[in-house]
Amino acid sequence: MNGTNASHPILNRLVEEWDSLTPEAQKAARYVLENPADVGVSTVREIALAAQVKPNTVVRMARQVGFDGYEEFRAPFREAIRQGTASFPDRARWLQDIRKSGALGGLYADMAEAALRNVEDTFAAIDADALQRAAEAIWNCRSVFVLGVGVNNANARNFTYLASTGMTDFHAIPGPGSVPADDLAWADHRDVLIAMTCRPYRSEVVDTVRLARDQGLTVIGLSDSPASPILRAAHHGFVTAADTPQFFPSSVSTIALLETLLSFVIAVASDEIVERVETFHRRRHQLGLYHEEPE
């Protein structure tokens, strides 16, 4: 079968009800069983045409297995595609389908398509060994400074926050009321700078990367082009696709790559990091920072 496995209960029901279906309904059911991913991206007429039956036959088949109509029958198949349990060609067909759904359907499809493409392009171009080397540099250093301005300031702080659940000496810069150069005043070869910027490149990020190199820091750069000035200066450079139909660059692939980099750091770290994370969250529970449901 050509795709999703998230609708197995429906497919099993079709098999169970097979003998009670009319010959025409069996033709429709056979098509669904052999092409489940098509259901999520096709109208009732398209399924009927492909199965060589009438549309009302497809509707009767859907009702036979417990649905009010074809749209309710199709919903789990669409959800499987949205959740990524189907192959990329099926997601592409889903995007084509929603593009027809209304005035904003085209915008929704364009944004979703750009996000999916950015993540796939980013990870397809990055070697796992290169990520591991960057992760080892982070784990083995004294302090990590994570630099982002504009939208990337939030990305830098999010990465620092996540890292702080298991590690110390992670600093998002620039700090409040500071400038990146001051934040790196006492940094040296024992430290790491993670810097990120996309076109138009922020001059304070480019300048800080050069300063960090001069001071001996190991630089990890994330940017949207191999020609980016911060990637040309980085010891470990990663290209993050940032295309979008809108006027602002997309952060989706940057966030995904940062999360992956952090997972690599944890993977290469010593066993103590697991205990640290558990201690961090146990403390939060003790302080009442997490909502507890009554037993």
pLDDT at 284 over 60: yes
Report whether 70 contacts 46 (CB < 8 A): no
Q: What is the DSSP string of 72-100?
A: HHHHHHHHHHHTT-S-HHHHHHHHHHHTT
pLDDT at 248 over 90: no
- Residue owning tokens 């994330």: 222
pLDDT at 265 over 70: yes
What pLDDT digit, counting tens, does each position of 95-112 carry?
Answer: 566 666 666 667 777 788
* 23 vs 284, higher pLDDT: 23
Q: Give pLDDT, residue 90.
A: 57
Ranges 72-81, 152-161, 267-276, most confident:
152-161
What pLDDT digit, counting tens, does each position of 180-202 carry?
Answer: 999 999 999 999 999 999 988 99
CATH 3.40.50.10490 in the chain, residue ranges: 127-286
Q: Give pLDDT, residue 5.
A: 46
Q: CATH for 127-286?
A: 3.40.50.10490
SS3 126: coil
CATH class of 8-98: mainly alpha
* 86 vs 4, higher pLDDT: 86
User: One-letter amino acid identity for 138?
Assistant: I
pLDDT at 209 over 70: yes
Q: Give pLDDT, residue 99.
A: 62
User: One-letter amino acid identity for 253?
Assistant: S
- Average pLDDT (248-264) is 92
Residue 10 is classified by DSSP as: H
Q: Give pLDDT, residue 4.
A: 45
CATH 1.10.10.10 in the chain, residue ranges: 8-98
Copy the structure tokens of residue 295.
Answer: 């037993």
User: One-letter amino acid identity for 81?
Assistant: I
Ranges 2-11, 121-130, 246-255, 265-274, most confident:
121-130
Ranges 58-72, 146-160, 237-251, most confident:
146-160
What pTM was estimated for this model as a whole? 0.65
Q: Give pLDDT, residue 183.
A: 96
Average pLDDT over the chain reads: 86
Q: Give pLDDT, residue 93.
A: 63
Copy the structure tokens of residue 248.
Answer: 């602002």
Report whether 147 contacts 207 (CB < 8 A): no
